Structure 1
């Protein structure tokens, strides 16, 4: 929340119109536990035994529509909603 508030404060300080926002993917490993935080469309992947696996989902309007069964995954990448974030640090 501090990062979110800092981005918004910087936008207001600069007098910028519109939204100033960013995405974040953060992994912290402290054996035997790990923590993964992901906001926006910066995906987290794991490469294990020669296989790349997507761990997080995009937080976009298109992905929300796929999750709700309204849009097919094939169409998600071509829709104008593919790059509209449903969650981002600093967004309204």
Structure 2
């Protein structure tokens, strides 16, 4: 039987505890959440015109969201971890 440990190093941050994991995921997801919120506010307007009995609208719309360069990454050194320690050069 061949054993693989390819994914073990990728989940070491979970050993830092719930508080550190929460801080890490909040920092990781913040750019996406901001972009998603901006796209929801992207101007989806529809008419309020009344329809005949059984009538309905079919609408196709396209919207785009531009994410600023500053929101495309985050710096781990700016996060105040409780249990995790950053290793320089890693």
Q: Give me the TM-score of the superposition, normalised by structure 1.
A: 0.23
More strand by share: 1
Where relative contact order (Cα < 8 A, 6+ residues apart) is larger, the structure is 2
Higher alpha-carbon Rg: 2
Q: Give me the TM-score of the superposition, normalised by structure 2.
A: 0.24
More helix by share: 2
